[in-house]
Homo-oligomer: A and B are copies of this chain.
Amino acid sequence: MLKISDFSRLARVPTATLRYYDQIGLLRPIEIDRFTDYRYYAVDQLPRLNRILALKDLGFTLEQIARLIDGKIDTAEMRGMLVLRQLDAQREVVESQTRLSRVAARLAEIEQEGAPSPYDILLKPVDALWIVSTRRFVEHIDMIGTFCETMHSSIQQQARQFGIFSLEPPAPGLLNLYHADEYQETDIDMEVGAVVAPPKPSSIQRLSGASNITVRELPAVPLVASGVFRGAMETMTGLVRALLIWISANNYSPIGPLRELHLTDESARQLGQNVVEIQLPVMSA
């Protein structure tokens, strides 16, 4: 019979842990003195303790361990538990590797740019949404600003005539798509649009026959790399660049047009206080 400290040394397990295992009924001392409440263990309890530690090492919770040890589990059930644990362990490996490469990418960015990026890129899913839009080639990158401004109001006006209305904040209002696969400064294939409430079929029909704008549902995307900037629209190229660096450093590749969502309205834009989210649909490469 061993006192708790002896058993603790023998098994290399802290006494606090032994007391806790006693408390939850996972490993009871063979005897507890009725007067002093001292716990006494036997050497032959070591195999049970070692089994607990081994299963803990595999990543099982103490509750699972209790069932595995005392539940009179048969081979098939044990195999089932292990298979589940294996799936979870595989997920954990992937997660930790992903985290590590994100950290490494951030460090690489500092090394290369000399400073940490002011932009933060996140991965997330986005839902489907309806837009009214028109698609054009814009001759030069410098003309995008004025082009969008004129187009946006015209688009929204036309849509309204067919009973199709832009959403109000906090929903995004203006939404532009860039269809080119690469960064270009001339002949930019862009789609200028606005997010609208899901229109009635009749409105869609009437608009599609009569207007030079189209209405359609932008599909949901399971994974977009997303970043947000605040300030003048000139800031956008910096964010787009950071986003492209990020996805290549983290091994994703684009699978759809870049989306530019305006989270602020006209008045903020004129003050150069836009809040704009850039989304790029991606898949892991």
Which residues of A come within 8 Å of B, CB atoms?
Answer: 2, 6-7, 9-10, 12, 43-44, 46-47, 50-51, 53-55, 57-59, 75, 78-79, 82-83, 85-86, 89-90, 92-93, 95-97, 99-100, 102-104, 106-107, 110, 114-116, 120-122, 124, 169-170, 226-230, 263-264, 273, 275, 277
Contacts and interface: CB of A to CB of B under 8 A. Distances in A.
B86 A93 contact: no
A93 B277 CA distance: 32
- Chain copies in the assembled complex: 2
A263 B93 contact: no
A170 B50 contact: no
22 contacts: A2-B169, A2-B170, A43-B263, A44-B230, A44-B264, A44-B273, A44-B275, A46-B228, A47-B120, A50-B227, A57-B102, A57-B122, A58-B106, A75-B116, A82-B106, A83-B107, A86-B103, A86-B104, A86-B107, A90-B100, A92-B99, A93-B97
A249 to B, nearest CB: 13
A40 to B, nearest CB: 11
Contact of A93 (B46, B58, B79, B93): B93
